[in-house]
Structure 1
C-alpha cells in the first residue's frame, strides 16, 4: 500500500488536481467518492511538510470496505491494490452520472482508425475522469478462425499493461513487450466460437497496443502459475529510465518518448515479502527510495533491480504540484 501511494504521490498532475481541490467539482458522492476524499487527505498530508511520516489508516479502512481482500492485514499484492485504488478513484471522479445504452460495436469492414475512434468515443460516454485522461490507453484484439480465416477485431481501454516475462535470467522490457503482442493459439477449452462457422474452432489471438496514455503503468507479471503451483519470476528485466521509444510497439497514433519516474519493488517470495518504492521528486528531480517510514536519496541507476514490479512512465513533464497540469 505504501509503495503504491508513494508512486502515485509523485504523479504530479493527479496530485495537483487533488491538492488544489479541483476534484471537488467532479466528485461522485453516489459512487466511490469516499475513496477519493481519503486519498486526497493522504496526499495533502504528504505534501504539507508537517509530518515525518503518516499512517493512512482511514484510506485502508475505506478501501477495505469496498474490497474485502484488503480489509485484513495479510500480505497482499501491490498491483491488485493499485488496480482497485485506480478503479475507485475513477468511479469516484467519473463525470458521467447517467450512462447511456451503447449498442455492441460491429467493426466488420471498418478501417482500424475508424473502429478505434468509435470504441474510444463509446468508452468516454460511460467513463470521463482525470484517471481516464491521464492513465488510460487502448488495445486492439484480433482473433482469426483457423478453419474459415474469419477475423474479429475489437478495441478496448486499458489502465496498465501487464507484461509477461520470458523464461530467462535476464531480458529487456522490449522482450516483454514483444511477448505481450505475440500470437497465441486458442485451442482445447479455449477454442473460439466463430460467428461464420457457427461452432467452436481453433483460432489465433493477437493483442496489440493501439494508443498509449500520458502516464503509462507497466506491471511485470512476476507471479505466474506453473501447473497447479503459483511461483515468482525473479528475472532481471532491464528497462530504460529515459528516452523510451515505444513506436515499434504501438500500431496506432505515434507515441511520444517516455521517461521513468517511479518503480514499485517486491522483495521476497509468494508467501511473504516486502515492498519498496523508488520515485523521482517532481520538485527537486532527485530520486528517493521509500521503505515504509524511511526515505533515502538514491541514484537513477540504482532503481534498475530484479525486484522491479510496477513501472511508472510519463510522456509529459511532471511539474511541481502547485502548477496547473497541462495535457497538450
Structure 2
C-alpha cells in the first residue's frame, strides 16, 4: 500500500485532516463484508469516540476478558494511534474472535455485510448490558459503609421500567410505532418497537425518499387479514401503518437488494437504480417534524448475485470522500457517489450498487 498511501497523502496535501488516519484493512479470504462495515463504523465519529473512550477507561482493569467489543476497541485504537497517516492494518484478532463467536462467519463463503452489521451491534449491546449488570451487582454487594448513596441508587436501579441505554443505543437506536386503526370504532392501537437499521424494499428507478414513503404507507387489513379490535371485541377491517416515532442519531438504511424468487428457487440480486441523496430529509415521523441527515458512508455490493461478489465502502471524512477496498484506500470525487445508485436497465455491466447507507443527524451533530 506504500505507493497508494503516499498517493493519498499527496492528493490531500495540506488538507490532510489533523489527527485523522486512513488505513486499509487486510482481507483474510473473503472478509471484505467485515472490512467494509468496519470502515463505515470507524468513520461514524460519535461511535468511534465512545468506543475509544471505552477502551481507555477499561484498559486499566487489565484483566478484562476478550470479547468482540474489546477486539473492536483494540482495532480502532490501533488505527487511531498510528504514527503514519496511511497504511494497512490486519484486523486479525477481531476476525478470529468473530469466527469463534459465530459459526456463520467461519466459512470462506461469501457473507452478507448487513447480517454482520446486525450481529455486531447486537453483540456489543449484549456485552455492555452484561457489564452494567455485573457492575450493579458488585455495587449492591459492597460493604454498607462504602454505599453512601446506597438506598437511593438501589431504588432507582431497582425499578425495571427503563431498559439500559448503552452508547450503542444512543447512536443507532430509533423507535418505530405500528399504528392500527379500527375502521368500525376508529380506535387506534399503537405498538412501539426499536430498531438499529431500517430494511427497505426497493423498486426500479426509485429513491430513498420514495422507499421510506412506501415503508410508512397505509395498508388495509380485510378479508382473512382482519384485525381483532379489543374495543369491538371482534375481527374488524382496519388500517395499519408504520411510522418513525423517534429517529436515531445515526440512521442506517439497508436496501433489500437480495430477493427470493420462487420460480428460480434461489435468491436474485436486484440491481435497481435507487437514488440516495447526500442530504436526506426524514418527514414521515410521528411528530411530522423534519429530521435532516447527512450521508457519511455507503457499503457497496459488487457482483451480479448474492452468493458471490465483493464489498467495498465509500466514506466521507472531513468533507472528502474516500474509497476503501480492503487494503486499498483512495480519494474519490463527491460526484462519483452517484455511480453506486444502481442500474437503470436490468442487464448492465455496472454491478457496484449501494447496499447499506449510513446517515448522521445534522440536528444532533451540531449540538454535540
TM-score (norm 1): 0.78
| Secondary structure at 2:109 match in 1 | coil
Match of 2:308 in 1: 272
Deviation at 1:23, TM superposition (A): 6.8
The answer to whether the 8 A contact 2:175-2:245 is kept is yes
Match of 1:222 in 2: 257
Match of 1:213 in 2: 248
Match of 1:102 in 2: none
Find out whether 1:289 has 2:323 as its counterpart: yes
Find out whether 1:315 has 2:361 as its counterpart: yes
Give 1:12-91 correspondences, 5 Å limit. Answer: 12-21=45-54, 24=57, 34-49=67-82, 50=84, 52-91=87-126
Task: Mark the structure with the bigger radius of gyration.
Answer: 2
Deviation at 1:316, TM superposition (A): 4.3
Deviation at 1:22, TM superposition (A): 5.8
Match of 1:128 in 2: 165
Q: In the aligned structure 1, how far is the partner of 2:161 from the partner of 2:299? A: 29
1:259-287 CA distance string (max 9 Å, x none): 111100001111211100000124xx311
Q: In the aligned structure 1, how far is the partner of 2:207 from the partner of 2:295? A: 15
Higher fraction of helix: 2
Q: 1:145 to 1:134 in 2, by over 3 A?
A: same
Give ranges in structure 1 of 5+ residues lacking alignment. Answer: 99-121, 319-324
Deviation at 1:150, TM superposition (A): 4.9
Q: 1:317 to 1:156 in 2, by over 3 A?
A: closer
| Secondary structure at 2:248 match in 1 | coil
Q: In the aligned structure 2, how far is the partner of 1:42 from the partner of 1:81? A: 17
Q: 1:197 to 1:61 in 2, by over 3 A?
A: farther
Match of 1:257 in 2: 292
Q: Which segment drifts farther, 218-227 or 192-201?
A: 192-201
Q: 1:317 to 1:290 in 2, by over 3 A?
A: farther
1:201-234 CA distance string (max 9 Å, x none): 6654211111211111111111123335422211
Q: 1:270 to 1:253 in 2, by over 3 A?
A: same
The answer to whether the 8 A contact 1:262-1:280 is kept is yes
Q: In the aligned structure 2, how far is the partner of 1:23 from the partner of 1:204? A: 51
Deviation at 1:74, TM superposition (A): 1.3
Q: 1:256 to 1:146 in 2, by over 3 A?
A: closer
Tell me the C-alpha RMSD between the 2 structures.
3.5
Q: In the aligned structure 1, how far is the partner of 2:224 from the partner of 2:270? A: 26
Give ranges in structure 2 of 5+ residues lacking alignment. Answer: 1-33, 135-158, 343-352
Q: 1:123 to 1:189 in 2, by over 3 A?
A: farther
Deviation at 1:255, TM superposition (A): 4.4
The answer to whether the 8 A contact 1:32-1:88 is kept is no
Q: In the aligned structure 2, how far is the partner of 1:32 from the partner of 1:195? A: 49
Deviation at 1:235, TM superposition (A): 0.9
Q: 1:86 to 1:190 in 2, by over 3 A?
A: farther
Q: 1:123 to 1:25 in 2, by over 3 A?
A: farther
